[in-house]
Amino acid sequence: MKKLLAILCIGLGMVTYAQEFEISAELKPRFEYRHGYKTLAVDSLNAATFVSQRTRLNLGYKSEKYNAYFSVQNVRVWGDVSTLATSDKNGTTIHQAWAEAILTNQFSIKFGRQEIVYDDQRMFGNVDWAQQARSHDALIVTFRPNENNRIDLGLAISAESESLFEEDYTVNNYKSFQYLWYHTNLKDFGLSFLILNNGYAFDDENDEQQVDYNQTFGTYATYAKNKLNADASIYFQTGKIADIDLSAYDFALNVHYAITDSFNIGIGGEYLSGTDMNATDNKLKSFNPWFGTNHKFNGWMDYFYVGNHINNVGLIDLNATIAYQKNKFSAKLVPHFFSSAATIVDGMGEEMSNGLGTEIDLVLGYKFSKDINFQVGYSQMFATESMEVIKGGDKDATNNWAWAMIVVKPTLFKTNFKKEEIKD
């Protein structure tokens, strides 16, 4: 009977498509104690304590012809509205809403609100640590000539509303971007190249809005064999920002070695160029990791590049990693030694030491089940006078940060089914 049905399907030109539909959720409450998080503490101000929470509902659809994804979320701080409130403070927002048309086995087009994540997330990441996370309104054309190579072309253009004529763009966001990303796998090596053209609006001396474009280009490489893992990257930036010439660069190297199946150690370093505080030329030399998941880099206390330290003295970050993971338990200790990449001067114009301080990060994790994960963390900053100059606050205060988080990601519903179509 099955053979007869197959013959009939072929004769009628019937095509069967596999499809998948899934509904999932995420709840991520996080308690934080902040006394010197992002900037040095001041003795006259008490530490902040609060609980923030992300709540998401996700719907995903996959088929041979197209894929689609929809994610709505609410981000709140416990107590930000009263228990009898008739409306929410932040409301519900669309984090992702995209569709991907699979044109051929090699070509696809993905468009809509979407996360863009590449490589180690230094230049493009979803910033998942932040409760709101990051997503873009963009179109991405993907070409996969084979399983080891991929090319993405990304395009975005921003406006505040529909209009009949050109209007100024005042959102703290890019006016447009275009990028090309290529990745290839070469046995033990992975290699990526990125070219990004990034446009931001600014008001000129006549209070008329203009758009300047800057360019980021570089490469990211990985190596993994036996117990050794390493990655390296180098990026350059040029062009203009607000009519100021830009010339900046970033390079990084990290090496990790698995002593045992459970115990891993590593060392790393990153150099992000900066602009001298006593510079006399009208040139910006500060590197900006535009859309990266910057919380992942340069210390978890977020003193650098997490909504701050932009167009500043840059950074030299030397760090080490001691990591342990066995069964459901994990632990990681990461000390960072920070210095500026450019000259720091005090209020009197005197040059300061480049040393900024030392940060110690510790995180413990326990995976209770496939859907539930517990994490706690503690960080402390030991700052210098130079850090006081660029951040303010008091280096001698106890600058620390502690947090505890539960991440719950259940799959609420999932089904696989087939759709049959008769071809003409």
- What's this model's pTM, rounded to 2 decimal places? 0.92
* Greatest alpha-carbon span in the chain: 92
Q: pLDDT digit string (tens) for 327-371?
A: 999 999 999 999 999 999 998 889 999 999 999 999 999 999 999
How far CA 94 is from CA of 23, 46, 60, 115, 273, in Å, comes to: 16, 35, 14, 12, 36
Instruction: Return the DSSP state at 46.
Output: P
User: Which of these ranges, 11-15, 200-204, 288-292, 349-353, has the smallest mean pLDDT?
Assistant: 11-15
Where b means 16+ CB within 10 Å and e means fewer, 275-293 reads bbbeeeeeebbbbbbbbbb
Q: Determine contact, residues 176/160, Cβ cutoff 8 Å.
A: no
- Residue 155: CB atoms within 10 A of its CB come to 13
Q: pLDDT digit string (tens) for 86-108?
A: 999 999 999 999 999 999 999 99
Domains parsed from the chain with CATH numbers: 21-81+88-422 (2.40.160.100)
Write a three-state SS string for 173-236.
CCCEEEEEEEEEEECCEEEEEEEEEEEEEEECCCCCEEEEEEEEEEEEEEEEECCEEEEEEEEE
Q: pLDDT digit string (tens) for 260-302?
A: 999 999 999 999 999 999 998 889 999 999 999 999 999 999 9
Residue % of the chain over a pLDDT of 90: 91
Q: Determine contact, residues 364/389, Cβ cutoff 8 Å.
A: no
**Could you give the 3-state DSSP secondary structure of residue 388?**
helix
400 DSSP β-pair partners: 35, 380
